[in-house]
Structure 1
C-alpha cells in the first residue's frame, strides 16, 4: 500500500508530505496507482520550483518507494500562496486516486509539532 502523510502547520498550511510504499496494483511498470501517485507528487514538486523558484527540501528513494518533501519556513507571502495552491491541488488529485483505488493508497494528515 502507498501511504501518503500530509503535515499541516498550526494555521492549516501544508508544511510537508511523504509518500512511501508500493501500491501492488499491478506488476512493476504497469501499476497505474503507483504511476499516478508518482506523477502527481513529482509534478507538484516540479511545479513549485518552476512557478516560484523555490526548491523544496526533498528525499527520494525509488527502490524503497519513498518521497519526502518539506517546504521551507519564512517564504515571501506570494510564493507561499502559490505553493499552497499547488500542494492542495496535489492533495485533491491524490484523493481522487484514493477514492477509486483505496485498497492501494491511503492519505492521512498530521499536525506539525510545535518546537
Structure 2
C-alpha cells in the first residue's frame, strides 16, 4: 500500500509530505495507482520549482519521496506553493477515493 502523510502547521498550511510504499495494484510498469501518485507528487514538486523558483528539500528512494517546504518565504511565494500543494492533495484524494485499498492519506500537525 502507498502511504501518504501530509504534515500541516498549526495554521493548517502544508509544511511537508511523505510518500512511501508500493500500491501493488498491478505488475511493475502497469500499476496505474503508483503511476498516478508518482505523477501527481513529482508534478507538484516540479511546479513549485518552475512557478516559484523555490527548491524544496527532497529525499527520494525506492518507493519513497519526502518533500519539505522551506520556511521564511515571502508571503506571495508561500501562498503560491500552498495552492500548488493543495491541488496535489485534491488529486491524491481523488486517487484514494477510487483505489482506497492501495493508497491511504493521513494528515498530521
TM-score range, shorter chain: over 0.9
Aligned-pair CA distance for 1:92: 0.2
Counterpart CA distance in 2 for 1:95 and 1:109 is 12
Distance 2:57 2:89 in 1: 18
- Residues in 1 aligned to 2:53 and 2:75: alpha-carbon distance in whole angstroms: 14
Residue in structure 1 matched with residue 94 of structure 2 by the alignment:
96
Which residue pairs with 2:36 in the alignment?
36
TM-score scaled by structure 2?
0.99
Q: Specify every segment of 5 or more residues in structure 2 that has no aligned partner in the other structure, as ranges.
A: none
Structure 1, unpaired ranges of 5+? none
Q: Please, which of 73, 76, 95 is the counterpart of residue 75 of structure 1? A: 73
1:48 aligns with 48
CA deviation string 1:61-80 (max 9, x = no partner) = 0x2x0000000110000110
> What is the CA–CA distance in structure 1 between the aligned matches of 2:42 and 2:98, rounded to whole Å?
20
Instruction: Provide the aligned C-alpha RMSD in A.
Output: 0.3
Question: Offset at 1:55?
Answer: 0.1
TM-score (norm: length of structure 1): 0.94
Q: Which runs of 4 or more aligned residues in structure 1 lie more than 3 Å from their structure 2 counterparts after TM superposition? A: none
Find the counterpart in structure 1 of residue 18 from structure 2. 18
Counterpart secondary structure, 2:46 = helix
Number of matched pairs: 109
Measure, in 2, the Cα distance between the counterparts of 1:86 and 1:5.
17
Whole-Å separation in 2 of the counterparts to 1:24 and 1:80: 35
